[in-house]
Structures are given as C-alpha cells and as structure tokens.
Structure 1
Amino acid sequence: MERDANTLSLKQIAFIGNYLPRQCGIATFTADLCESVAAQYPTTKCSAVPVNDIEAGYAYPDRVRFELTEKDIDSYRRAADFLNINSIDVVSLQHEYGIFGGRAGSHILALLRELRMPIVTTLHTVLQNPDPDQCRVLKEIAALSDRLVVMSERGAEFLRDVYEVNPHKIDLIPHGIPDVSFVDPSFFKDHFGVEGKTVLLSFGLLSANKGIENVINALPAVLEKHPNVVYIVLGATHPNVLRHEGESYRLSLQRLAEDRGVEGQVIFYNRFVSSEELNEFIGASDIYITPYLDARQITSGTLAYTVGAGKAVISTPYWYAEELLADGRGALVPFRDPAALAEQIVALLDNDAERHAMRKRAYIHGRDMIWSQVAQRYMTSFERAREDHRHLTPPAFAVKPLDRRPIELPPLKLDHLLRMTDSTGMLQHALFTVPNFREGYSIDDNARALIVAVYLEELGHAAAFDLASRYMAFIAYAFNPETGRFRNFMDYGHNWLEQSGSDDSHGRALWALGTVLGRSNTPALQRIAGWLFEQAMPAILEMTSPRAWAFAILGIQAYLRRYDGDRRAAQVRDELAGRLLGLYQACRADEWRWFEDGLSYCNAVLPHALLLCGQAMPNQAMTDAGFESLLWLAELQRSAPGGGHFVPIGSNGFYRRGGERARFDQQAIEARSMVSACLEAYRLSGDERWRREVRRAFEWFLGRNDLNLPLYDPDTGGCHDGLHPDRLNENEGAESTLAFLQALLELRLPESTSSPLEVKFDQ
C-alpha cells in the first residue's frame, strides 16, 4: 500500500546492518534499502548504524551516524543510547548471525533490549534446524521486534513452525532489485571484450560454498555443442575467507579450468563492483547460473537481481531458488551434478524461443521487486510497527515486587585481575591488593582465569585474547606428557614443585579446556586446547575425587555443546556421571541428601554436574538427584529456614555428618558455585525458587551476608579472600577474585540475561 510522502508521520528511521563500502551482501542491501526509502519519502530522515569488523572501520557516507564494533558489546549499548536520545521513530534491523558479535550474534540483543522505539527486523537467514544458541537468539529478536520481514514463503513458514512466531507479526517483502530495462545481451558485451560470445555468468563474493567448480566441470560438454561460450566469474573473494584462507579457492578454480582445458573460456573478475557495473555485467549475460551447494539458503540477492533483469537462469534447488524460479521463471538442476548442468545449458542455448520466454516471465515477475515498490512496502511495515508498539508498550512505571526486581550487577572492572596477571600467568595470592610473589602460581587459578577470559571473549571485551593466551600458555606448560597429568604449583622462579598436581586441579584444567573448545571462537586457542584436552582426558578416569569428576564433567559438557558427535568424550562423561550418581544413591538418607559423609568446598559443583548430565544423556535419575541435592544444599546454606541470606559452609572445619557445622571462614568459591548451579537449575526447570537462590548467592558478594560487609571491592574490581567471624580477610587473592568475576560474567552471558532472571546492568 503506497503512502503519501506529504502526510507521512515517520520523521526519522535508523537502519542497522553492514553498510557500503564494506564488501558484503548485507552491506549492499542495507544501503539500497536506506537510499530507496529516503528517495521515496524525502521528508523522512534516514540514517545508518553499520557494524565494523575491522579496527579502522570504513569510509562511510554521511548517512552513517553511529558505528558498532562487532565484538565490543559496550558499543551496542552506546548505540541504543544514541538512538534513544535522537528521537528515532523506527529502527530497521538487518539480521544475519555472522555480522554481530557474541555467540550466535547475541551482542545485538544488548542493543535491542534498550531501545524505546518500534523495531522492524529483516531476517536474511531463517534456519530450519538452528542450534540452541541460534534458536534462542532469534526467538528473543522476534520477541523484541514489532514486525518481522522475510523474503520468502519458506522463511515465513519456518518462523511460524520452528520459532513459534505469531503469523500476524510477519511481513513478506521481496528482496529489492534495481529497475533496469529489458535489453538484448549484445548491448553490453563490447564493454567486457566478449562481443559475439555467448556469456554464462555467476557473481557474488567468492567462497567454497558457491559451487563454481561444478560449472567449470560442465564446460567441456557445453563447448562441444556451443564452442562460442565463455563463463564469467564475477566478484572478489569474501573478506572473511580472504582473511583466513587467502585466495586458495579462486586458485583451485583456475587450476581446475586448466586441467579441464577450458582456461581460455573462463574469465575471473576479482573485484567488488559497483551497482552500475554489476547491472552491465548482468545485462551482458545470456544465462545466469547459481550452482550453490546447500539447499539451506532462504534468500539470494544475486538471484533476485538477475531474475529482475530478465535473465535466463539455471540454479541448484536451494530454498529461495525453488520459490523464485517457479512457474517457468528459471530452470533447476541437482546439486553437484555437472552433467545435468551441462545438459540444461545446452538445452537453453539450443532453444532461443524457450530461453526468451523464460526471460520475459522472470522480468515481469520482477516488476514487484524493484526498490521503489519494496521501499513502499517497508514503509507500510514501519507504520504498522509503530501502531503495534503504541498498543503493546507496558506502562513506564510498572511496579514489581522486591523479589521480581532485577539483580543489580556492579560494573565489570578488571583492574585487579590485570594486576594479578603477569607474563607467566595468574599469580595465586595477594598481600592486600598487591600480588604476593612468594606464593607463585597454580594451575587451579590459571584454569579459573582461562574460563573467565573465555567469558570475556563472548562479551566482546578487548583484553580477552591477551589474557586467555597467557593462561592457556601456563596450562600447556603445566601438562606433563610422561604422566598424562598436569602439574599444579610453580614458584615465582618458574620451578615446578611437583610432578603431578591434585585430582581436583586436573579436573579443573579439563573444565577450562572444555570451556575454550565449547565457547571460544579463537582458532589458535581452540587448537591448543583440543590437543591438551585429548591428551589429559584419559587420566580423569583413574582419579577418585568426586569434585575432580564434576569439574571434568562441566568441561566435557561445554565441549560437547559444540562437538556432540565425540563418542569418546561422551563415554567419559557418562562414566563419571554414573560414579557421582552411585555415590549419591549410596550415601543419601532423608536427613542427609548428599554424595559424601561431609560437605567441604565447592559443594554445589556436584549437583551441578548431575543436572548437566541428566539433561544431556538423558537420565532422569541423575536429574532428580541433581535437583534434590541442590535444593537440600540451598536450604542448608541459609541464615533462616525458608529465607534469609546465603551462609556457605565454613572452611574452618567444614561439616561432617552428625557433627557441628563450621560457620566461618566463608569462601567466595562457595557463592560462585551456587550461582552457577542454580542458574543451570533455573534454565532446566524455569522454577522461580532457583532464580531466588541465584540472587541470594550472588548478593553474598555485595554485603548480604553474616557481617553485612561487601566482599567485592569496587575500587579494585577484586574480591576479599573470605569472611571471618568478626571481619573480612583483607587480602584479594586469585581464587576469590576469579570466583566473583566468573559469577558476574555468568550473569552477563546471553543465556542468562535473556532469561526471566531479569538481570540489570549498572553501567
């Protein structure tokens, strides 16, 4: 429905996504959409918020008002502030998993959650079988958006069936295309030196999933019948591919052309062309080919452009091609089938009448896809979004009960972590806030620090890689290949104090390595972690400490989140989990629902491990034992029955069955392990009691404890080493500081902040 520009009430629209001159399809789409809306509605101010994947950014045009840094989550929050204070009427988000930072592009959620205006999200990828992170991110984007735009019926179907989106929220708007004339291909051929030739064309940023090799393999059979054919491969290598693999794919295609004897008929244009040049290349082609290798592509700008230009098209049957080329607007051939491709090319070249009829059907269909039409349909969606937003926005001053208010998180401050880290790794202890060199280093603390560094990476912190590299280097050096175990303690002079560390330190190292493998996206760290993980895992089966087993389970399960096909790792996990369950069943009584005859340190890790395994294996007995033991521990560690503040088991004597429980010294590691375990319990059950237990345990750090004294030190970002009966331990060592940081970061991670936990960030 067309809108009258003079009566339009939307004054400012901001477009978020990659933007030209960055070289990618999303950048081209965002720029074209922004410029088309601006041209159709000159009284509306259109601005852009692009995402930078390189430190220097790009030479953007004046439309760009604010720039996001892909891996810096704080830049997303600053962008939200910028858009809110600049009275933007509607935000148009271009969503693709790969362009935003965080796991599955989750950093964009930090921006969307803070926006006060309507949001219309265009989904350039809608996966039929998303992994859990992709599903979670897209579901929250859908919940935060007022309207969702897809470019195909298949995309709308997936939103309804896979992501449970209300159909009334979905707008189907085609991919925009330039408005070009229906011209004879010969008109442009002399521009490229192919006059008199029959031109086959493929274009787009080059990467191995494009399937260009199948066209080259088809050429010999085509040239037997039509020796005048040339094949143009247009487009620069994708910047991400170029950064990591160089030109290896393009060079392999050139070698293939030589091997097949068609190097004289294949022309590579290795550059990113302007829209004007692209239209001329398309105009010069007789047949356009998209030989993609995977059916799971929900849209394709290159295919939309060529259909709209009235080209004869041959494609593999990926989802978008099946839909756009229906009703005779193009021809489909099987994936990875050069013979079928050659046969179809020859058939079209042999039959001019059919080829031109296909062209005409495509061109007529494309008239509804030109940018001026698409811009009007987007404006209709924007106005619907504003109307929906007006009716759905909750009251600004809704009051929540105290236990439903967000947890107030302190700001992330790494000063003390950095002070305790030197070129070797994480130092163990501190004298007040000064590192204590006399005590040296331990793998325990470097493993904890590596987990913290991986969480920092997920949250886009600039210091993450440097820190993770140091801690990983220490862990790698600590591994003794002769024993298959890790050493633990090293003095400040870099002398190892034992050949093998404790069982628990070994389990904790496996936890850290599994976290790297399951959560980090840094290849160098993953390669080292993978080698160490493989070498060190067998030894855990020889160990007798239940906590070592639990630490290892946490690491293995983190690893299996990404590599769930590793049967050996799953078998080790299952064996360790079975041992834990056996301990619990042998020791449990109505008045003592625990794994051992005593509670000591890091207690909550035991039920935490069973909860993870019970869900993953699956094993209901493990899940039940995990919930039962964690609930018993939570009730035990309170200052009053049914309520009160968190009171961990004291380390000055611990708690033996039938004996007297130690109230002090209370350690930070207990609060951290309860936060982690109760977060997992909440994710699995959705039970509000676990959300309350997370709050109870975390607020121990902030002063809700026996002495009403905060252990977290806001001046340094560190954490005091414990709570004595009459005072704080003034030292801020590695274990306590890392315990606080790990708990804080777990509450900031996307899987926590997107839940009903309603964490509030104090920035």
Structure 2
Amino acid sequence: MKEKIRFSGLHPEMDIVYLATSVPRKCGIATFTKDLADSISDEVGGLPYRVTALSESTNGYDYPPQVTFEIRKNEIRDYARAAEYLNGSSAQVVSLQHEFGIFGGEAGKYLGVLLSYLRKPLVTTCHTIIKNPAKEYRESFERVIEFSDRLVAMSPTGVEILRTIYGVPENKIVLIHHGVPDVPFVDSNFYKDQFGVEGRTVLLTFGLLSPNKGIETALDSMPAVVERHPEVIYIVLGATHPEVRRHSGEEYRLSLERKVRDLGLGNHVVFHNRYVDLQELIEYICSCDIYVTPYLAKEQITSGTLAYAMGAGKAIISTPYWYAEDMLSDHRGIIVDFGDTKGLSDALVNLIEDPVMRNKMRKKAYEFGRLMIWREVARRYVELFQEVLKEREHREVREVWQARMFPQATLPDIKLDHLLALSDDLGLIQHAAFGIPDRDHGYSADDVARGLAVLMTYYNQVKSPAILPTVRTYMSFLKHAQTDTGHFHNFMSYDRRFLDQEGSDDTLGRVIWGLGTVVRWGPNQRLRHLAQNLMEKALPKLELVESPRGKAYAILGFHHLLDRFAGASRFRWLLEKFADDLATHYKAHRTTYWHWFEDILTYGNAKLPEALFRAYQDTGKEEFLEVAVESLDFLTQTQWNGVYFELIGNEGWYPKNGEKATFGQQPVDAGYLVEAYIAAYQVTGKDEYLDSAQYAFEWFLGRNRLNEALYDFADGAVADGIDSSGISANQGAESVICFLMALIGMSEFRSQRLMASQPESPEITTSLNLTRYAAAH
C-alpha cells in the first residue's frame, strides 16, 4: 500500500469550498457566506476554507485570500472552468449559496453548466424559493435541486414549498435557520448615547435600500405615532442597493427624503446612507426599541435583517411575508398587513405604551434566537456535511448506475508513456502530483520491482528493444538496493540516500517477483544471471519472511524462475513451504462466512489466491487449489455488487464482523484482481473468471462507484484511487503499474485464445494491436 499523498493541509473530513458572492462585495449573500464560513471554521478548530466567488465587476474585487477562484457572472465558460477547478481541488464538500440574481444567463441558468460538471458533494442553501415561478426560473431551480445532495431551507414555509411545489423528497430537505450574531439581552438605553438618540424611542429598519423594502409604508405611519409620542425617531440604516444605484442612482432615496419633508418628519426620521460593519450594525440593533420590516412582497422566504433583530431580542413589527409569518408566530412579534399604514401606526403606539407586552415579546424572540446564533447554525451545517459525506460512502448506487462507456470488445492500446515519464536514470519515482513526477517522495524498490515485472511481461509479448534501457536502469537500482544480508532497502530519497535499513517482508517479496520475471523472460543471459544471483543472495532472508503477502509475492517470483529452471530445488522448496503457510493461515482464520487468510481484508488481497493458483500449477497440490478458489470467490462475493466492483477502501478496510470501507479504493486491488482471475481461468477453465477479469479491468475505465474513468487515454496515466471527494488527482507509479499488469495480462490472454481458435490465420499474432484483433474476432 502506498502512502496517501494530499496536497492540502486541510482536514480531510471538513475541506469546504463555498460557491457564492464574497466580501468586499456589498451583498447580503456575501455577508451570509462570510459569517457562515467563519463560524464553521471556528466549529472545526479554525481550519481554513475557500470561496469560489461570483463577480459582476469587470475589474473584479479586492478579495480576501479565501477567494481562490472567480466566476464572471455573464461568462458561461467560467462556470465550466470553475467545475473543473473544483473537481481537481481537495474539496470534500461544495456549499452553494443560491439566489437567482447572482448567477448569469436567463434565470441564472449558467449555474446549471457548473453543476452538471461538478463531481463533489453539493449542499445548497436556498436564499430564494419562488412559489409560482415562470417556466425559465422553475427549470433553472430544478437543475439546482437535481444536482444537490441536500437543500437547506431557512424557514418551515421554505421546506413546505420545496416539498409540495417542487416535489423534493423530505429526506433531501434540511431546515437550518439563518445565522445571527450572539449578542446579550440588554436594555436599549445602554447604546443610545453612541448615536445621539438618548432619551428617545428608537425605531429601526436596516438593510440595502430598494423599493421593495416598503419604507414608504413606515413613513406614512409615522405622523400618527409622532403625534402620540413625539420622542420617537425612526432610523433607516443602509446604503442604496448596488443594483438600484446602478440603474437609477439615488433617485429612490431622494424620493424618500422628499416624503419625510412633505410629512414634516424632519426631526423624527434619519437616513444613514452607508454600509456598516458587523460590530456597528449590532450596536445599532441593540440601541433600538422596536424593529420594523415593512416589506411589500409576500414571497420573501428569508430575511437576514429580521433574523438579526430576533437574535438581539428586539420587539418586532412586520408585514406578513413568508419568513416573518414563520419567525414571528407564537407571539414573537406583531404582523400587520401590506400597505396598512393605520395598522402599522396602531401597532407601534401599542408597543410603545405597553412595556410589559414589549418585554414579553422581546424575551420570546430572544429565546427563539438562541437556536439561530452562528455557533448553533455552524454545528448544524457541520453535521449535515458529515452526513452527506457518510451517505456518499454508503449510498446504494447500483440501481441508478449507468455505464458511460461502451462494453469493451477491445482493450486500450498499451501506452508506457506515463511509466517511462516517471522513470529517470536512477529508477522509478513513486508518486506524481497531478500527473507530474513528484521528486519529493523519491523512489521505492516496491515500485521498481513491479515496474520491472511490467516491462518483462510486455517484452515477452512484443520483444521491443526500446524498453531495455529502462529494464537495465531498474535492475541497477535493485542491485544497489540489496543489502549485505540479502534483503533490500525500500525507500530512497531523490538525492540518492536510502531512508531505511531494509524494507518490509512485502518489499522483499515484491523484489523477488520482479526479479523472477527477469530470470524467465530476460532478453540476454547477463540480465538473467544477475537477477538469479540477486534472488539467491536473498535466500537467507526469504526463509524468515512472515507476512502472508510477502510470501505470496515471493511465490510468484519463484513460479517465474521455475518456469526456466525447473530443477531449482531450493526455490521449489520455498514455494511449497510458503504456499503451505498460506493454507495454514487460511484454515486458522476461516469461518462459515469468512473465507480469508486474516481477520481483516486490506490491500493487494487478490495476490494471495493468485499465488496459490500458481503454486498449484507448480506442485499439483489440491489443497492449494481448493483454498485459492474459495478465497478468490469470497473476494468476488465481498466486492462485486452485480454491476461493478466496489473495492475495499483504505479508509478503514474491512475487518471481520465490521463494516467495509467504501472510499480510498485503489488501483492495486483492481489490477491484482484481474491477474488473479486470469490465473483462476488458466487453472480451472471456468468462464465466470474471464467475465470477472473483464469487469475488474473495467473498474479503471469507469465501471466503478463514481462512474468515472481513472485511466487517461491520452498519456496512459492512472489516478491513484477513488476518494470521497472524487477521483484522486494524483497519478503515481503503483497505479499505472497495476493497470499495465492487468492490461498486458488481458491482452496476452486474449491473443493466446485467438491464436488457439484460428491457428492458420497469418493476421493473428501476439501483437498488442487489439483493434486488429477485434476486427478478426
């Protein structure tokens, strides 16, 4: 098993990217996103986060470092590029803040381009939900629903609309309230002197100013209130909405100021035309006695301003938009009808004159607001993200899985490009970051040995002299890696320093496997003799091997050596001893339902039964065959779900009496399965093993849980696995080696079968041109 390389310092279980507008843009979604992201970061121990930001300004914004990607609102290509960028990132979850106005295209349809390409888990917070949408808005929002793992509604009405109007299943909807700052329940008089309103009854409305805020209604109600209570002052806090200012300048604000003059309210209404920071906003809210939201539109599913006022425990009067009806029920506030000037003035007077009722209302609002403070909201989101990630691990996808590839009548051409790109004049670099050799992690004898096995198997088929310089390089590395005791160092840094005294049993076994292929198929006697000498020098250490996998790898090396030197009695004795040991391991751990060599299934599992099939070929011992068949069938039963192989993940493995890990699936297991099934067919002649070999191979090509190919047809690179965040961006040596071993094995076997069925055809050779083979077949 290879070390799992990550290219981010983020916690693997809570690596979040927010898709939204971002500060410093003056936008409610941007503010919400920052507050949410900061709160979640605090909840998970201060981990950093990233934002993919929607931008309108052609010059962009002076974004904070959290913004790592920008989408220009009206550039459709940016949406596709953003999806590609997110897919290539280490993000575990994408948190989408959805509101129609912030995305480009008709009704925001450009967002659908991004979502259709996105391969990350998606949690969408619905800031806008339209009950009776126009066709284009409905279609746009239904695309968001389709691609979201969860939809967050911020009110019960939002939940109900999603369920009844859009047909969203209840288990896909989560109610999480709009977050609010955690502020103390204090007397408003404590803050009034900061704003020069001490001794006055303060009414407040805040937020970006636009015609739908209903400020006119509040102003028209003020004369009757002032007549009874001349100490009243109404503060309208907030800059004009950028969209309003872009199209109409300050025309709307000036019309309100004219209305104030016309109503004679100059001493009772104050406009603060600016965008205040959070601390100043909290102080304004705390200074008010009554908060007013006189909005004009019924279909407002959320309101951050109302939420903030509730969180601060304010007495609230509002018009009956959806969010207000939900939040102010149970006497947490007062509702007056849209445009009802008299109703609003009466409600204000009653609240001013009845401090008992006002304080009771404040307490109810504050108690409910405790559910909405950012700490609690962040905790709910963290739980939701973890739930979605866990669900992805255990989601049953067989019934909805659809192949994205055609059945493989042919196999891909064998491309050694990536393997050779990882090879230099010293050996084989073991890791690759996004396909580029990663020198930071140096070399390993594990990979060099298995790379040698690939090249020798390939050479046996095509006799290509072009690969021989690389073969000599690999042999030179292994000779240098062998210690005086006969064992082998495993890890070497890029500056040519060995990093260990000697490798593990598995390292020794893998080297013997690779050297055995050289003894069997080496292009000249000198190489074959060197491989033989290295194997013989390792004999004292081989006799001490305890690891079952180390023994299995070594058996394969012995099997290759014995094919050329059947009389090599010491190696034959060791092969039979190791096979006996494996059979003994199997009997010790086997139960009625658990047919395996250990009490846990981990990595490289199929090499154990494969080794016993080869041992049976060399010894004829029936016990080896029985254990090989039963254990391989158990592996199949454990991992084949009827549609694709669900390999055992390295994020927990599969212990006896435990749960099988889903993610961290590795190419090594798919590749080894292919080789084991080919060995099983060669020994038993059962066609079912050929089918299994094909399906296991197709795991690389997209027959897998994510329905995505790990193999890159362009350069022959292979992704390092299937993680909860998607296909790994890394393409290391082990992955391409195991793919090539499987591909070469499949192609050689098909060619041999074809030759057997059409021995007279001059067109059929052992060539790896499988297109020609397919046509002939």
Structure 2 length-normalised TM: 0.50
Q: Give 2:104's match in structure 1, choosing from 90, 101, 106.
A: 101
The corresponding residue for 2:141 is: 138
Contact persistence 1:290–1:303 (CA under 8 A) = yes
Distance in 2, matches of 1:373 and 1:228, equals 38
Aligned to 2:236: 233
Q: Is the 8 A contact 1:11 1:45 kept in 2?
A: no
User: Where do 1:406-485 residues align within 5 Å?
Assistant: none
CA displacement, residues 423-448 of structure 1 (integer Å, 9 cap, x when unaligned): xxxxxxxxxxxxxxxxxxxxxxxxxx
1:345 match? 348
Q: Out of 288, 293, 307, which is 2:291 matched to? A: 288
The answer to whether the Cα contact below 8 Å between 1:13 and 1:44 also exists between their aligned partners in 2 is no
User: What is the aligned partner in structure 2 of residue 18 from structure 1?
Assistant: 21
Aligned partners of 1:32 and 1:141: how far apart in 2? 23
Aligned equivalent of 2:318, options 293, 315, 325: 315
**How far, CA to CA, are the matches of 1:301 and 1:246 in structure 2?**
24
> 1:15·1:93 contact (CA, 8 Å) conserved in 2?
yes
Measured at CA, do residues 341 and 96 of structure 1 come closer, stay the same or move farther in structure 2, by a change above 3 Å?
A: same
8 Å Cα contact 2:10-2:48 kept in structure 1: no
Alpha-carbon spacing, 1:260–1:392, altered in 2? closer, same or farther (3 Å): farther
Tell me, in whole angstroms, the C-alpha distance in 1 between the residues paired with 2:161 and 2:345.
33
SS in 2 for 1:20: coil
Residue 387 (structure 1) shift: 2.6
CA distance in 2, matches of 1:251, 1:114: 46
Residue of structure 1 aligned with 2:247, choices 244, 248, 252: 244
SS, match of residue 31 in structure 1: helix
What is the CA distance between 1:248 and its match in structure 2? 1.0
Q: Match for 2:61 among 51, 58, 70?
A: 58
C-alpha distance in structure 2 between counterparts of 1:337 and 1:397, whole Å: 57
Q: Secondary structure at the match of 2:124?
A: strand
Amino acid at match of 1:144: F
- The change in CA–CA distance for 1:7 and 1:96 in structure 2 (over 3 A counts) is closer
CA deviation vs aligned residue, 1:383-427 (integer Å, no higher than 9, x gap): 12223334266799824569xxxxxxxxxxxxxxxxxxxxxxxxx
Distance in 2 of aligned mates of 1:202 and 1:399: 54
Partners of 1:8 and 1:167 in 2: CA distance: 30
Matched, 1:120 2:131: no
Counting only pairs closer than 5 Å after superposition, residues 698-713 of structure 1 correspond to structure 2 as none
Q: Write the deviation string for residues 446-469 of structure 1: whole angstroms up to 9, x where unpaired.
A: xxxxxxxxxxxxxxxxxxxxxxxx
Matched, 1:195 2:208: no
Residue type matched to 1:49 in 2?
T
2:159 alignment partner in structure 1: 156
Aligned to 2:170: 167
Matched, 1:177 2:177: no
Alpha-carbon separation, structure 2, partners of 1:292 and 1:300 = 10
1:307 & 1:399 partners in 2: Cα distance?
A: 51
Distance 1:96 1:393 in 2: 30
Kept after mapping to 1: 8 A contact 2:206/2:236 = yes
CA deviation string 1:351-404 (max 9, x = no partner): 0111011101100110010001000100111112223334266799824569xx
Secondary structure at the counterpart of residue 138 of structure 1: helix
Alignment of 1:397-408 (within 5 A): 398-399=403-404
Q: Are residues 1:32 and 2:35 paired?
A: yes
Residue number in structure 1 paired with 2:219: 216
Query: How far, CA to CA, are the matches of 2:63 and 2:313 in structure 1?
Result: 32
Counterpart code for 1:358: M
Identity, % of aligned pairs?
Answer: 49
How far has the Cα of 1:44 moved from its partner?
Answer: 4.0
3-state SS, counterpart of residue 363 of structure 2: helix
Q: How far, CA to CA, are the matches of 1:347 and 1:138 in structure 2?
A: 42
From 320, 323, 332, the counterpart of 2:335: 332
The answer to whether the 8 A contact 2:10-2:47 is kept is no
**Alpha-carbon deviation of 1:86?**
1.2
Alignment of 1:678-717 (within 5 A): none
Query: The residue matched to 1:244 in structure 2 has which SS?
Result: helix
What is the distance in 1 between the residues matched to 2:379 and 2:164? 28
Sort the Cα spacing of 1:399 and 1:109 in 2 relative to 1 into closer, same or farther, 3 A. Answer: closer
Match of 1:457 in 2: none
Which amino acid in structure 1 is aligned with residue 310 of structure 2? V
- Aligned partner of 2:569 in structure 1 is none
**Aligned amino acid, residue 339 of structure 1:** K
- Cross-structure match for 1:364: 367
Deviation at 1:63, TM superposition (A): 1.1
1:79-111 deviation line (CA, Å, top 9, x unaligned): 111111112100000000110001111111111
Is the 2:240–2:253 Cα contact (8 Å) retained in structure 1? yes
Length, aligned pairs only: 397
Aligned mates of 2:328, 2:370 — CA distance in 1? 15
Q: How far off its partner does 1:77 sit?
A: 1.2
Contact 2:79 2:111 in 1 (8 A): yes
Q: Residue deviations 1:483-542, cap 9 Å, x none? A: xxxxxxxxxxxxxxxxxxxxxxxxxxxxxxxxxxxxxxxxxxxxxxxxxxxxxxxxxxxx
When residues 64 and 214 of structure 1 are mapped into structure 2, their CA distance, relative to the original with a 3 A threshold, is same
What is the root-mean-square deviation in Å for CA atoms of aligned residues?
A: 1.8
Partner of 2:547: none
Residue by residue over 1:165-223, the C-alpha shift from the partner in whole angstroms, topping out at 9 and shown as x without a partner, is 11101010000000001111111111111111110000000000101011111111001
Change (3 A) 1:180 1:351: same
Q: How does 1:734-749 map to 2 (within 5 A)?
A: none
Structure 1 residues 392, 46: closer, same or farther in 2, change over 3 A? farther
C-alpha separation between the residues in 2 aligned to 1:60 and 1:191? 31
Contact 2:71 2:79 in 1 (8 A): yes
Inter-partner Cα distance in structure 2 for 1:259 and 1:12: 55
SS of 2:69's equivalent? coil
- Give the letter for the 1:97 counterpart: F
Partner of 1:111: 114
Any residues of structure 2 matched to 1:77-92 within 5 Å, and which?
A: 77-92=80-95
The whole-number CA distance in structure 1 between the counterparts of 2:184 and 2:46 is 29
- 1:45 to partner: Cα distance: 3.5
C-alpha contact 2:225 2:348 (8 A) present in aligned 1: yes
Alignment of 1:648-667 (within 5 A): none
CA distance in 1, matches of 2:76, 2:244: 24
Structure 2 Cα separation of the partners of residues 383 and 164 of structure 1: 25
> What is the letter of the counterpart of residue 306 of structure 1?
A
> What is the distance in 1 between the residues matched to 2:294 and 2:376?
29
Q: Which amino acid aligns with 1:273?
A: V
Q: Is 1:67 matched with 2:66?
A: no
Given candidates 46, 56, 76, the residue that maps to 2:79 is 76
SS of the residue 1:272 aligns to: coil
Distance (whole Å) between structure 1 residues aligned to residue 99 and residue 10 of structure 2: 33
How far apart are the structure 2 equivalents of 1:392 and 1:363?
A: 43
Amino acid at match of 1:129: N
CA distance in 2, matches of 1:272, 1:193: 19
Partner AA of 1:32 in structure 2: D
Q: Give me the whole-angstrom Cα distance separating, in 1, the residues matched to 2:391 and 2:112.
A: 20
The 2-side partners of 1:85 and 1:42 are apart by 25
- SS in structure 2 at match of 1:120: strand
Within 1, Cα distance between the matches of 2:258 and 2:46?
A: 54
Gaps of 5+ in 2: 1-8, 408-777
1:259 match? 262
- Contact 1:234–1:268 (8 Å) recurs in 2: yes
CA–CA separation in structure 1 for the residues paired with 2:347 and 2:83: 51
